[in-house]
């Protein structure tokens, strides 16, 4: 029988969390059993052919069953039995708060628990303030903490994670999905993909677009994503009379198509006032996989996702002049774009191939199970 691992996310599964689905589905020697409290229909189709067990499917009162689990009381027996039939070796939770719930599930199932911390769950100041003794208890009880970048590993250590329990491991992307030929649009084009929130820094890109307009009157920016700042950004783009399309959400396949056609991927992330910062930035890997150069700020873990000067041009956070100059340099130099694009593909093949990374992940599992 193929050994199995429980992949735990409270809600299965957001459309943006392809990295969780791919990592579980592409384990070379283990079967992933996706478990959670309820469903998120926006991305559930990504794991529809994999074993999964949702508390909401087995409990008539899932809210009460979830509360009982969190209080350390007996969890819903039917749900536990549905998980136990796969004879899992351990539980792998994603995000800090999910890890806390996974510890209670692990206690019920008598299984070790690993938790991956990704970004905002460990960097935001409010999370650190609210955690208090809960964070310390979590670090005492969890078997391993996986940090998605060196930057996030440093943040976890600063929150009190013991070095002996911490391992840094890049997730990677499924390169078999990124086989499109690079096919740039006729006119110069930029692409932004991300939530329209402070951390993603879209306002700085709009400021750069205004500075670029006299030199590149045909330049077009496509913004894929939704968020609280969308109305503000739309008004800003309108007032500056910029050639910007707010495209809303898009499927993973549509984003790949856009990445293959745009001249540059520009996502000037910053550290938000809340402390929220990029843990790594999967879309930066995706852009490189499709031979699209990246322009951004030096922020958080994204500096590990790219190779500055070779696959990306970076400037300091909120340095709009530097951002503008880097965009202009690449728009004007097609040979440099091609060179950086080729280097980007080589980089993700070498360091961020999810299949290779999943094999390494199983060695982490073996240390705990």
Note the pLDDT tens digit of each residue in 319-332: 999 999 999 999 99
> Over 80: is that where the pLDDT of 177 sits?
yes
Q: What is the pTM of this model?
A: 0.95
State whether residue 6 is helix, strand or coil.
strand
Note the pLDDT tens digit of each residue in 245-274: 999 999 999 999 999 999 999 999 999 999
240 phi, psi to nearest 5 deg? -85, -5
Mean pLDDT, range 189-197, rounded to an integer: 98
* Same fold? 4-172+353-368, 176-351: yes
Give the start-to-end residue ranges of the domains of the chain. Answer: 4-172+353-368, 176-351
102 phi, psi to nearest 5 deg? -65, -30
The tally of CA atoms less than 13 A away on the side-chain side of residue 180 is 22
**Residues 30 and 2: beta-carbon distance below 8 Å:** yes
- Report the range of poorest mean pLDDT among 72-76, 166-170, 173-177: 72-76
40 phi, psi to nearest 5 deg? -120, 105
Q: Which two tokens stand for residue 51?
A: 């074993």
Q: Could you tell me which of 35, 15, 21 has the C-alpha nearest to residue 113? A: 35
> Over 90: is that where the pLDDT of 143 sits?
yes
> Over 90: is that where the pLDDT of 75 sits?
no
Determine the pLDDT at residue 132.
Answer: 61
State the Cα–Cα distance between residues 300 and 282, nearest whole angstrom: 13
pLDDT band at 129, cuts 50/70/90? Answer: low
Domain 4-172+353-368 fold: Rossmann fold (3.40.50)
> Over 60: is that where the pLDDT of 130 sits?
no
CA distances (Å), origin 288, targets 142, 173, 316, 342: 34, 11, 21, 8
Mean pLDDT, range 110-118, rounded to an integer: 98
CATH of 176-351 given 3.40.350.10, 2.60.120.560, 3.90.1640.10, 3.40.50.2000: 3.40.50.2000
Strands 264-266 and 189-193: parallel
């Amino acid at each position: 029988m193929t050994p199995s691992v429980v992949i735990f996310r409270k809600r299965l599964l957001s459309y943006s969390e392809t990295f969780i689905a791919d990592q579980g589905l592409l384990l070379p020697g283990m079967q992933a059993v996706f478990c959670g409290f309820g469903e998120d229909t926006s991305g559930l189709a990504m794991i529809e052919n994999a074993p999964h067990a949702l508390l909401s499917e087995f409990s008539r009162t899932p809210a009460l069953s979830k509360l009982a689990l969190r209080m350390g009381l007996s969890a819903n027996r039917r749900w536990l039995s549905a998980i136990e039939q796969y004879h899992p070796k351990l539980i792998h939770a994603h995000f800090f708060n999910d890890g806390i719930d996974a510890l209670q599930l692990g206690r019920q199932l008598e299984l070790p628990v690993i938790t991956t911390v990704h970004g905002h769950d460990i960097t935001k100041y409010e999370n650190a303030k609210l955690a208090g003794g809960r964070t310390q208890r979590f670090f005492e009880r969890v078997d391993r903490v996986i940090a998605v970048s060196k930057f996030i590993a440093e943040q976890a250590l600063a929150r009190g994670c013991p070095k002996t329990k911490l391992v840094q491991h890049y997730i990677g992307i499924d390169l078999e999905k990124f086989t499109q030929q690079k096919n740039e649009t006729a006119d110069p084009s930029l692409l932004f993909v991300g939530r329209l929130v402070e951390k993603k820094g879209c306002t700085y890109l709009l400021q750069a677009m205004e500075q670029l307009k006299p030199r590149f009157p045909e330049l077009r920016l496509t913004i894929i994503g939704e968020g609280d700042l969308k109305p503000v950004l739309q008004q800003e783009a309108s007032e500056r009379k910029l050639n910007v399309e707010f495209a809303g959400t898009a499927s993973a396949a549509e984003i790949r198509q856009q990445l293959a056609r745009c001249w540059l991927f520009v996502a000037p992330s910053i550290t938000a006032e809340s402390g929220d910062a990029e843990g790594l930035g999967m879309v930066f890997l995706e852009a490189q996989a499709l031979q699209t150069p990246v322009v951004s700020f030096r922020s958080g873990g994204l500096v590990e996702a790219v190779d500055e000067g070779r696959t990306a041009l970076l400037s300091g956070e909120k340095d709009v002049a530097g951002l503008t100059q880097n965009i202009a340099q690449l728009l004007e130099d097609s040979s440099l774009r091609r060179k950086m694009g080729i280097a980007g593909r080589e980089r993700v093949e070498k360091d961020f191939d999810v299949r290779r990374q999943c094999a390494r992940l199983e060695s982490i599992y073996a240390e705990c199970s």
